[in-house]
Chains A and B, each alone.
Chain A
């Protein structure tokens, strides 16, 4: 039982390049989330998927797209990376219902130069 797995752990991109961050959970959770973490700003929600087949914008969605590929996988895509997207990205999941406790992945540290 691996929990929430994110890949890659580290990435350096040049401005304008694209990439996809992968996230998979093996806990049969319904809801999945992408957050970014910047110094002094806590964790801010980029996009989320309340259930398989649905996705919605969070607080800071500009410059990102997501895909809920199936119940296990939720990917985050940067189409044209910008230095402002330098951050640590966390994927999280939760079962829903009466259990609200998130499980986080180990994070992806992204640098855009």
Chain B
């Protein structure tokens, strides 16, 4: 089955700096890669996703890049703000097979003033 590894497990940045979280996956059949943000005590919420036919996608201050050859994808947050502090999860899914998502172990991002 799919295995997703995520790094780093914790990340601390100064407000206004950029943050990068990286994930690798094992199953070459995976073709959908979402990122979720989870605030303390809340449910995970989808913030951005990318499909395997696209190399990069941006949405305001967040962007995701995908390297299919190397089987890794990354989340980039620019101009970080205190409200960006949360746990971020990457995930991967292969088409079919019930659209199951395999999640990484999460990155605790702390944006310091």
CB-contacts of A80-113 with B (<8 A): 90, 94, 96, 100-102, 104-107
Q: Is the CB of B49 within 8 A of A33?
A: no
B97-112 CB mask vs A (1 if < 8 Å, else 0) is: 1111111111000000
The reply to whether B93 and A31 form a contact with Cβ atoms under 8 Å apart is no
Q: How large is the interface on B (under 10, 10 to 19, 20 to 34, 35 or more residues)?
A: 20 to 34
Known A-B contacts A43-B103, A45-B102; the reply to A105 vs B43 at CB < 8 A is: yes
Q: Which of B16-35 contact A (CB under 8 A)?
A: 32, 34
The total number of A-B Cβ pairs within 8 Å is 56
Q: State in angstroms the CA–CA spacing of A90 and B36 once bound together.
A: 14
Main secondary structure of the interface of B (DSSP, over half): mixed
Using a Cβ–Cβ cut-off of 8 Å, how many residues does chain A contribute to the interface with B?
Answer: 25
Tell me the bound Cα distance from A50 to B101 in angstroms: 12
CB-based contact A100/B93 at 8 Å? yes
Asked if B44 contacts A59 (CB within 8 A), the reply is no
Whether a CB of chain B sits under 8 angstroms from the CB of A58 is yes
Closest B residue, CB atoms, query A51: B98
